Amino acid sequence: MYTPLPDDGLPSLISTGHLPPAEEVEILVRQVYARYRDVDEGKVADYIPALAKVSPKLFGICIAGINGRTFAMGDATHEFSIQSVSKPFVFALVCEAIGSEEAQQGWGERHGSAVQFGHGGRAEQ
C-alpha cells in the first residue's frame, strides 16, 4: 500500500498504487493542507503566460486513488496549467501504448523539446 519514509516527525508516505484507508487519507490531507496553506515563499512563474495569470494565494490539494476515490481540500477545483507536471503522465500513457521497453529506448533522444528550459517561446498560452 505505501512505504514509510525516514522519520522527520511528520507523516511521509510513498504511494505504491493503492491509497491507505479513507480515514487515514483524510487525516493526512488535512494535516498537509494545514502545514502548507500559509506558505508564501517563492513567486509565480511570470515568464510563462498561463502561470503568470494565477493568483499566488491559491492553494489546494487533491489525492486520487486508482479506483476513482478523491480527497480534496482548499482550491483543488480551481483550473490551472500543469506544465511539466504532465510529463510523467504522458510517459505512462506512451508506455501503455507501445510498451515500457520501447518507450525507454528512445527516451534519451526524444524526451525534450529542444528549447532551453525557461525560454518562453514554447510556453503554453
Domain assignment of residue 92, given as a range: 82-111
Higher pLDDT, residue 100 or 114 = 100
Answer whether residue 121 is part of any domain: no
Does residue 42 surpass a pLDDT of 70?
yes
Q: Are 8 and 62 in the same domain?
A: yes
* Overall pTM surpassing 0.95 (yes/no): no
Are 74 and 91 found together in one domain? no
Mean pLDDT of the chain: 79
The H-or-E segment that residue 72 falls in is strand 70-74
- Is the pLDDT reported for residue 51 higher than 60? yes
Q: Is residue 46 part of a domain?
A: yes
- Pairing between β-strand 2-4 and β-strand 60-64 as defined by DSSP bridges: unpaired
Split into its structural domains, the chain has a count of 2
Query: pLDDT digits over 84-107, tens only?
Result: 888 888 888 888 899 888 888 876
In the block, cell 517561446 appears at 121
Same domain, 49 and 69: yes
pLDDT of residue 122: 45
